Structure 1
Amino acid sequence: MPVSSKPWGRTPYREDVLLFTLENSTGCKARISTYGATLTGLEIPVGDKNIDLVLGFDSLEEYMTDGNYFGATIGRVAGRISNAAFELDGQKYQLDRNEGSNHLHGGKYGFNRRNWKVLAQNEDAKSPSLTLELHCKDGMGGYPGNVRIETTFTLNSTSLSIVHRAQCDTPAPLNMTNHPYFNLNGGGHEIDNHELKIFSAKSTTFDKALIPDGRLIETCGSEADFSNFTPLGKTVQDRFFILDKNSLADGPAAIVRCKESGLELEISTNQRGVQLYTADGIAAGTKGKNGQQYGPRCGLCIEPMGYPDAVNRPEFPSVILHPGERYNHSTEYRFRPI
């Protein structure tokens, strides 16, 4: 069957969680949990076998206690919000502090901690899809506005597309992303042999807490220069890159390749930038799925999104959604042989 599901446990609030599998006619498989609208697996045929290219866990319980956002859908606001607070239309909103004095990835009431509802599934053998739905009430997590979100996962040939759509009843911040950790060798390996190209010439600058200070810098010649294919090596990255204008249409935002596995991943998106994270904060010895051991540099995150801390930076493009507008965030991950 192109779309199948099975029970996958219950949340502390006694909500039933389902684990879906999408499988298309090319043999690709994507596994998605209703808890956190989480991508728990993505298998791509390579030669005579399938390789799972995203990191994760075997059980729901491990996802519910995970602090690294493995595969999760992130919101309401991805990235960090300085001092866990912002003002909108003259009113101050206080959010929970879950990273020092700051707010990260939606906090303890983030989308990754919610059990999403199943809205629709498409049994097309070539392009099976799953749509999940989430309702966020005004005031939840400190955020204003009632917001309804739909997220659709579609498996096309050897690519996975993820589309987020949303509407609200009052002005509200919304800056979503997905947080899969990719490893083109499969799990259990470091990513130092991966090469990366980002279609960007600028990045934000930030303080010790990784909060943007409002400035943009040219990356050419710096350790953050990925304008050409560059081995990741041991360089630590947790940085937001502003995409070139032509990358915001149909052009790629970033390409990752690994000569060892012979695979290449191209990411396209309609978002303004991507957050690059080389997983250096993963604790050594973290137990992953299928008996794998994770640790620093176990995977690579490229998170399409709007500017981080834009709610406190008027010089950045706004991430405020207004009534009557429709939030539309699309990203596609395409896999192919080098």
Structure 2
Amino acid sequence: MPIKVARYQRKGQHDYCEITMVNRHGMQVKLLNYGATLEKVLIPTARGLENVIMSLESPEDYSKARNFLGGTVGRVVGRIRHGQWQHGNHIVQLPLNDGQNHIHGGTGTDTQIFEFSTQYDEHQSTATFILFDADGNNGYPGNLKLQVSYTLDDDNQLTYRIRAISDKMTIFNPTNHVYFRLNGPQSDVLGLNLQLNSDTYLPLDADSLPYQGRRSVEGTVFDFRRAKSVGAVINSHDSQIDAERGLNHPFLLRGDSPAAVLSSPDKKRTVVMTTKSPAIVVYTGNHFDHTGIAKNLGQYNGITLEAQMPPAAGSDLTAITLLPGEQFDTWTKWQFTY
């Protein structure tokens, strides 16, 4: 399973590279060292290779404007209320880049150039990305070493792993922000079926942050314990859905395997997701509108299942605190069938 590496541009003393992994079935995965990004997942069809995730038109586009498509978003994905992390009597103030809140790590790890290495054998290929994020960058304490790896095997499974270590107490809650679309570049996700092994979700306030604690999915549009249409939920006129213009909600996982199953209407294409993380934030690409760098993408063209610690309502971020020398290690696996 050889790996191809192609430099597509050089800026600021950095090589920007696209890494292509191919398995014995002809499935291809394309990665960028910009943001340790999952750029494309290409499956073989009778018409040739077809991309089943949302992607920009060219690798060069990813660094022109922040887009989150397939990027490794950190140090903390999602919003932090008022950008404040309080531990003891001390408050760390992070930059406010989403109104009165902090979102997606400030400028974020998905906008950085990672060093990388590759390895392969006859059964799988792996690309490993390394980033040193300095103490104080985006307001976060601690020199952080971040390692991200992607492994494609001959069972059409893509494994994504994040490891990190810091020399100071800090907060850390990254994820991959890939958007699945399954039915190709001209499709939306309204006809896809989603199943989640989750009994509870977090309602959101006007700042898209949790504010009521966990709620049971029983009797709500958020009950995905049995697979149902994404479009039926978006068109439900539930007040939470209307306020976000779609799904943008955290679901607390039961710990069963798999965590989520996304399938095409005919069930011929599926993504089965397992993860070490305790929650998934489901977001249906509500903001895309065929403008800017993502002009090829529109509302509901993709759905992201962001494996992470659930977002907090306030400034007590104990759940995502990383102690000095503590090893952070999480993983997500996506099994594709087609």
Task: Work out whether the TM-score is over 0.5.
Answer: yes
Q: How big is each residue's C-alpha offset from its partner over 1:11-62, in whole Å with a ceiling of 9 and x where there is no partner? A: 4x34221111111222111111101111111112345633211111133442
Contact kept in structure 2, 1:286 and 1:295, CA below 8 Å? no
Partner of 1:305: 308
* Counterpart residue number, 1:145: 142
- Alignment match of 2:260 (pick from 244, 251, 254): 254
Among residues 203, 206, 209, which one is paired with 2:204 in the alignment? Answer: 206
CA deviations on 1:190-234 (whole Å, 9 max, x unpaired) are 111100000001011221111112511001121111111110115
1:105 maps to 2:104: yes
* Cα shift at 1:333: 0.5
Partner of 1:191, secondary structure, is coil
Q: Which residue of 1 aligns with 2:77?
A: 78
Higher mean displacement: 253-262 or 71-80: 253-262
Q: Cα deviations across residues 221-270 of structure 1 (Å, max 9, x unaligned)?
A: 2111111111011511000000003x3xxx11100000347201101000
Identity of aligned residues (%): 27
1:3 aligned residue: 3
Matches within 5 A, 1:19-168: 19-46=18-45, 49-108=48-107, 110-118=108-116, 120-157=117-154, 158-168=156-166
Q: CA deviation at 1:97?
A: 1.7
How far residue 9 of structure 1 moved from its aligned partner, in angstroms, is 1.2
- Label 1:38 to 1:311 Cα distance change in 2 as closer, same or farther (>3 A): farther
Letter in 2 for 1:270: K
Match of 2:251 among 241, 247, 254: 241
For 1:9, the aligned partner's letter is Q
Distance 2:42 2:76 in 1: 29
Secondary structure of 2:61's partner? helix
How far did residue 287 of structure 1 move?
Answer: 6.3
Cross-structure match for 2:243: none
Aligned length: 325
RMSD over aligned Cα, in angstroms?
1.9
Contact 1:87 1:311 survives alignment (8 Å): no
Residue from 278, 291, 305 that aligns with 1:272 = 278
Q: Which amino acid aligns with 1:255?
A: V
Hey, what does 2:241 align to over in structure 1?
none
TM-score by length of 1: 0.91
Residues 53-102 of structure 1, C-alpha deviations (whole Å, 9 max, x = no match): 11111334421233431110011001111111212343222212221111
The verdict on how the C-alpha distance between 1:135 and 1:89 changes in structure 2, with shifts beyond 3 A counting, is farther
Name the SS of the counterpart of 2:57 in structure 1: coil
Partner of 1:295: 298
Unaligned runs of 5+ in 1: none
Q: Which runs of 5+ in 2 are unaligned?
A: 235-245
Q: Distance in 2 between matches of 1:143 and 1:287?
A: 28
Question: What does residue range 315-334 of structure 1 map to in structure 2 within 5 Å?
Answer: 318-334=319-335
Partner SS for 2:162: strand
State the Cα distance separating 1:331 from its structure 2 match: 0.2
Whichever residue aligns with residue 202 of structure 2, its letter is T
Indicate if the aligned counterparts of 1:220 and 1:227 stay in contact, CA closer than 8 A.
no
